[in-house]
Chains A and B, each alone.
Chain A
Amino acid sequence: SQTIHQWPATLVQPVGSPLSLECTVEGTSNPNLYWYRQAAGRGLQLLFYSVGIGQISSEVPQNLSASRPQDRQFILSSKKLLLSDSGFYLCAWSPYPGLQKSTEAFFGQGTRLTVV
């Protein structure tokens, strides 16, 4: 079975500090990977998605970046955090489109980031 791991669960960081959130998927190959952000009481905003190693598409310009160094690893980073970066960050994966069986997205447990 497939599982998705995301860490850390909570994080408090000062303004201007760097950020690194990691997500790994097990039990599947060549998944599509996503980073979403959910501001308090609001919807899910797609930040980045990746269809393969080294392939990153950005949906929203910001001071965040994403990398996919391995097939099942997705990393969200920032060199200098802003107060507005606070939120609930969710990693997700979905099966490779070629499987044509499901396009359901499976979410990690999320990271609650507070920038102070």
Chain B
Amino acid sequence: GENVEQHPSTLSVQEGDSAVIKCTYSDSASNYFPWYKQELGKRPQLIIDIRSNVGEKKDQRIAVTLNKTAKHFSLHITETQPEDSAVYFCAASIILRRNAGNMLTFGGGTRLMVKP
């Protein structure tokens, strides 16, 4: 099955700096890569996702890049703010698979701390 590794496990940055979180996956058939943000005590929520037919996607201060050959993808947050502090999870999945669970395999999470 799929295995997703995520690094670093903790990341501390100064407000205004950039933060980068990296993930690798093992199943070359995976073609959907979402990122979730989980604030303390709350449910994970999708912040951005990318499909295998594109190499980069951007949404305001957040961007995700995908390298299918190397099987890794990254989350980039620019101009970080204290409210960006949370745990971030990457995940990998295979979509368009009939009668399957399409379950997400998550990375171990990164605790991002943005210092004001």
A positions within 8 Å CB-CB of B? 32, 34, 36, 41-46, 49-51, 57, 59, 90, 94, 97-98, 100, 103-105, 107-110
B99 close to A (CB within 8 Å):
yes
On chain B, the number of residues with a Cβ less than 8 Å from chain A's Cβ atoms is 28
B95 close to A (CB within 8 Å):
yes
B98 close to A (CB within 8 Å):
yes
Q: Name A110's closest neighbour in chain B (CB-CB).
A: B43
Q: Name A101's closest neighbour in chain B (CB-CB).
A: B95
Q: Which of B62-70, B75-83, B106-114 contacts A (4 or more CB under 8 A)?
A: B106-114
Q: Are A32 and B43 in contact (CB under 8 A)?
A: no
Q: Which residues of A contact B107 (CB under 8 A)?
A: 43
Q: Are A105 and B104 in contact (CB under 8 A)?
A: yes
Q: Which residues of A contact B49 (CB under 8 A)?
A: 104
Q: Are B46 and A104 in contact (CB under 8 A)?
A: yes
Q: Name A45's closest neighbour in chain B (CB-CB).
A: B106
B54 close to A (CB within 8 Å):
no
Q: Are B103 and A43 in contact (CB under 8 A)?
A: no
Q: Which residues of B contact A45 (CB under 8 A)?
A: 106
Docked CA distance A107–B42 (Å): 10
Q: Are A46 and B105 in contact (CB under 8 A)?
A: yes
The 3 tightest CB contacts between A and B, nearest first, are A43-B108, A49-B101, A107-B43
Q: Which residues of A contact B34 (CB under 8 A)?
A: 104-105
Docked CA distance A100–B103 (Å): 14
Q: Are A100 and B101 in contact (CB under 8 A)?
A: no
Docked CA distance A27–B55 (Å): 33
B28 close to A (CB within 8 Å):
no
